[in-house]
Structure formats: C-alpha cells, structure tokens
Amino acid sequence: MIKTAEQYVKDLRDGRVVYQDGKRITDVVAAWPKSVERAASEFFVATIPEHRPLFTMMEDGEECSFAFKMPSTPEDLQRRREILRVSGELGAGGSRLTGIDGLNGVAFGAAKMDRAMGTHYSENMAKYRAWCKKNDPSIVAAVSDPKGDRSLHAEDPRQANKDFYVRIVDRKKDGIVITGCKLHITAAAIATEIMVLPSRNHNETGKDYAVACAVPCNAKGVSFLCSQGSVGGGHPMIIFEEVFVPWERVFMAGEWQFSREIATSFARYHRLTAATYKVGQLNALAGLASLMAKYNGLTKATRIRDMLGWFAMYATVTEALGKAAALSGDVDPETKQARPNPVYTNCAKYWFASQWHEAMKYLQDITGGIAATIPSMADWDNPETRPFLDKYLRGAAEYPTEERIRAIHKVIEEGATFHGVLSIHAEGSLSTQKQVLFQQADWALFEAAAKYSLGYKVDHPEFKNRLGLGNTLWKMPESLLKGKK
C-alpha cells in the first residue's frame, strides 16, 4: 500500500519528543511546514501516473513502494538510483534517504549471521519488510555512535561513560532494552521508523553493543535533539533512554561477530545512495559556477574556463561511477541479495568528498569577494537601498542584478561548514573510503599485471594463458631477423 501524503503528515503527530535551539517542539508539522511538505511530496509523487511505474511495484496483488523490495539484481540497484534522482530533481523526499539502506544492510547481515550462527533474525526481518510494504513508513537508519574517546573501545573503562555506543542494558522475555545515542540521523524527527544498527565492530566483551533493531519515532524513551537552526530538524541526535524493543523488531542482539558485517553492508548500500543524490547537487553546482562566471563577464578567461571544465568533470565522474557501481553490482549466491560494486561506490564517494573543498575554492574564486561582504536580501527589499544594490551589484549587462545576487547568496550557502562536513563525513569519512578501497580492490589482478610486467609467469586467470612472457608472444624466426630471402 502506498501511504498518502496526508497520512504521512498526520502520522507525525504521535507524541514524539523533539528539542531544537533550546526549546521543546510539540508539533513538528507546525514547526517545519516546508520540510514536512517536501517529505510528504515523496508519497504524493508515487501516486501520480507519470512516476508511479518507477516508484511502485505490485506484490501479491498489492501495490507497494519499490523502495522496500529486497534488491535482487543490478537493475534493482539502478532503479533505486533513478527513484532518488527523480525525487531529488522534483524537490521531493528526504525522509528515507538512509532507512532503505539500513533495511537492506541489516537484512544482508542478518541472513549471513543466521547461516553462520544458527540464529533466526531473518524471519524477523522478513516480517518487518512485509510490514513496511503494507504500512509504507518513512524510515531512517541510525548508525553513528558518539564514540567518546575514539582511541578506546566502547566498553573500555577509561571512557567517560558506558553509553557512547547504543547498547542492550536489559534482556527481557518479550524484548530488549536499549540505551545510548545515535548522531547525524538525517530527517529523523520527521520520520516514523528508526532502523538502529551498529557503526563498527565490537569485541566479545562489548557484545551488548552488537544490536540492530527497529524503533518507532514515538517510542517511550526516545528523544530527538535537532541540529541548530535547521529546518526539518536537520540531522538530529537521537537519545535512547531505556527504550524497550520487542523481539520481533530485533535483528541482532549480542552477536558481536557480525557487528562489523552489518555496519559495512549498510555502508555499501549507502555509498551508492550518496553517489546518486550527489550528482544532482554537483550538476547544480557546476551550473552555479557557470552562471557566476557569466554574471561576472569572465567566461573568456582561460583560467575560468579551466575551472568550469573541472566542475563539469566533478559532476560527470560522480555520475559515471555511481552508474557503474549499480550496474556492476553482484548478487550474493547465499542470500540472493544484490549489492553495489564496493570499489566503484567508494571511488565515487572518495572522489566527490575529497574534492568538495577545492570546488568551494574554485566557486568562491569565480564569485569574488562579494560572497564575504554582500548585504542581506532584506536590503534588496528595502526601497531605500535596493537602487544601490541594483546599480552596483549588477554584473554583465545581459543579466538582471537580482539573479546575480541570489546566486551569490547560494554560493554562500553552499560554502557553509555544513556542506563541507557532510561531504567528507556522511556515508563514511575520507579515511574510511581509502581503507575500503585498500581492502576491496582487485589486488590479485593488479599484482598479476605487475609481476607479468617484471617478467614473471603468473597464475592469475587473466594472465596465465598468455601465450608467452613479455614481448615473446610470437618468436621471430632467425631467417627473418637476418633478412635472408
């Protein structure tokens, strides 16, 4: 069933506990109408004929969101990319950017765990997925823990407290009780379900930290602390104070051996999501740079063209890698679950993340000092000052001043710390990408190529049937060498 936009909005008034900028927010709809509207649009768009075939599917005679399908082919992964792309361009959504990746990541880890350890979490997951298809919730993944001292394990007694990672504080007959905090949970305050999963590996002594489960946003003991000054709550901290979770919503409870597997399975999906939604942002960024160059009359300068060429590349490479990651995804033979190619996704993520600050430097370079000193839009609205702005902040004569001023304000917004931090930390840090690339790349192929180039025979399938070593595929007959006729 597809939830209506109206129902989504109504469901947000469920008694959830939300704080922002020093105050309790009692009605999130009234607090952030625009954000809620934008999120609700995602449900609306799935109902209109133009987009319905992309956003929904039929299962057992029932229409439901394609988002909840367990991906079983590379094409499924690419279709999810397409859904994200269209949503992004429509300005819709935002409330389940992470949750589907959480669902699929936990599902994969649980299936593997069940096989290895004899647990039965996949059954819970199957029921939960069916519930999702029926109820069409807005769902977020809650992954990042606050960590405290990063050089210490969760359970290290030198940590200032035990709760720097969400943990099981009690196990009851009908469920578990969890305490802790998750950080940076995009759109969590306007979602309905939270998929909690571990952010890293844990040891046997820290097995209580190995926990994955689904929690409703209005569960007792859950509080949201929203990002300062954000619309829609931003990316809240979620506090869990002795929150009870019934067993049927638990997907891991102590199996520390699979904590890392679940964390990385989520990440593998989520980096593809990143490599998807970023394309829209980077396309607009390239366009913004181009417009600013035009407003400023700079499009003939070689150094500006060089930068614009670079912006085109910045967006294009991200798009090419994201698409390659989906279409080169593999299907796990045990679980039949499709997963994106991890090397391409990490290349994509590292590529856009590592260049963001450089992009801002270029954009600010093109824009000029005015991006540090511009008066506010209120001065544009003030009839006393608008003539001054209109006259002096005009750029090339063919463009209206207002357009240039709006673009400058957009440049300021893009350059905020928020976007820089999001680029490098969301979906895993720069350091993580490089380490994952180190772990996942096809070193057997690379080393075989290297050894072959050093003149050694190698056993690699791509090289072992080579007809000869180095340059001697075909051996020149002595007679030819001497030129005898």
Tell which positions 193-222 bind a copy of itself, by CB under 8 A: none
Closest distance between a copy of itself and the C-beta of residue 1, in Å? 18
Burial class (CB in 10 A: 0-12, 13-18, 19+), 411: buried
Inter-residue contact 316 to 400 (CB < 8 Å):
no
Which is nearer to a copy of itself, 58 or 467 (by Cβ)? 467
One-letter identity of residue 325: A
Closest distance between a copy of itself and the C-beta of residue 173, in Å? 29
197: CB partners within 8 A, 6+ apart = 102, 105, 106, 141, 142, 143, 212, 251, 252, 262, 263, 266
Q: Is 2 a binder of a copy of itself (CB under 8 A)?
A: no
Among 3, 16, 25, 45, binds a copy of itself (CB under 8 A): 45
Inter-residue contact 169 to 209 (CB < 8 Å):
no
Own/partner long-range contacts of 310-313 (Cβ < 8 Å, ≥24 apart): 310/362, 311/282, 311/285, 311/286, 311/359, 311/362, 312/286
Closest distance between a copy of itself and the C-beta of residue 467, in Å? 7
One-letter identity of residue 300: K
Tell which positions 420-459 bind a copy of itself, by CB under 8 A: 420-422, 424-426, 429-431, 433-438, 440-443, 445-456
Spatial separation of the C-alpha atoms in residues 245 and 264, rounded to whole Å: 23
Tell which positions 369-428 bind a copy of itself, by CB under 8 A: 369-379, 381-382, 384-385, 388-389, 391-397, 403, 406-407, 410-418, 420-422, 424-426
Q: Is 141 a binder of a copy of itself (CB under 8 A)?
A: no
Which is nearer to a copy of itself, 145 or 208 (by Cβ)? 145
> Residue 139 pairs with which residues in a beta bridge?
193
Spatial separation of the C-alpha atoms in residues 46 and 30, rounded to whole Å: 24
Inter-residue contact 74 to 22 (CB < 8 Å):
no
Piece in contact with a copy of itself (CB under 8 A), picked from 55-63, 106-114, 146-154, 204-212? 146-154
Inter-residue contact 171 to 253 (CB < 8 Å):
yes
Tell which positions 233-262 bind a copy of itself, by CB under 8 A: 234-237, 239
Inter-residue contact 312 to 286 (CB < 8 Å):
yes
Closest distance between a copy of itself and the C-beta of residue 459, in Å? 14
- Return the residue matching tokens 């085109």: 312
Total Cβ atoms within 10 A of residue 117? 12
Which is nearer to a copy of itself, 114 or 427 (by Cβ)? 427
Inter-residue contact 84 to 279 (CB < 8 Å):
no
Piece in contact with a copy of itself (CB under 8 A), picked from 1-9, 58-66, 71-79, 190-198? 1-9
Which is nearer to a copy of itself, 149 or 170 (by Cβ)? 149
Q: What are phi and psi of 243, to 5 degrees?
A: -90, 125
Which is nearer to a copy of itself, 227 or 273 (by Cβ)? 227
Which is nearer to a copy of itself, 117 or 469 (by Cβ)? 469
Q: Is 21 a binder of a copy of itself (CB under 8 A)?
A: yes
One-letter identity of residue 41: S
Closest distance between a copy of itself and the C-beta of residue 114, in Å? 32
Which is nearer to a copy of itself, 103 or 315 (by Cβ)? 315
| Per-position x/- string for 219-238, each x denoting binding to a copy of itself as judged by CB under 8 A, each - no binding | ----x-xxxxx----xxxx-
Sheet architecture: strand order including 193-196: 139-142, 193-196, 211-216, 250-253
Total Cβ atoms within 10 A of residue 461? 10
Which is nearer to a copy of itself, 246 or 461 (by Cβ)? 461
Please state, in angstroms and as integers, the Cα–Cα distance from residue 9 to each residue in 79, 97, 118, following that order: 26, 18, 41
* Cα Rg of the chain (Å, integer): 26
By CB under 8 A, the count of residues binding a copy of itself is 190
Closest distance between a copy of itself and the C-beta of residue 162, in Å? 10
Number of H helices, E strands in the chain: 19, 14
Tell which positions 277-316 bind a copy of itself, by CB under 8 A: 280, 283-288, 290-291, 296-298, 300-303, 305-306, 308-313, 315-316
One-letter identity of residue 109: G
Piece in contact with a copy of itself (CB under 8 A), picked from 61-69, 76-84, 103-111, 360-368? 360-368
Which is nearer to a copy of itself, 138 or 433 (by Cβ)? 433
Q: Is 70 a binder of a copy of itself (CB under 8 A)?
A: no
Closest distance between a copy of itself and the C-beta of residue 7, in Å? 10
Q: Is 52 a binder of a copy of itself (CB under 8 A)?
A: no
Spatial separation of the C-alpha atoms in residues 274 and 270, rounded to whole Å: 6
Which is nearer to a copy of itself, 173 or 475 (by Cβ)? 475
Which is nearer to a copy of itself, 139 or 363 (by Cβ)? 363
Closest distance between a copy of itself and the C-beta of residue 121, in Å? 27
One-letter identity of residue 334: E
Which is nearer to a copy of itself, 175 or 232 (by Cβ)? 232
Piece in contact with a copy of itself (CB under 8 A), picked from 116-124, 209-217, 264-272, 467-475? 467-475
Question: 129, 270, 266, 125: which is closest to 197 by C-alpha?
Answer: 266
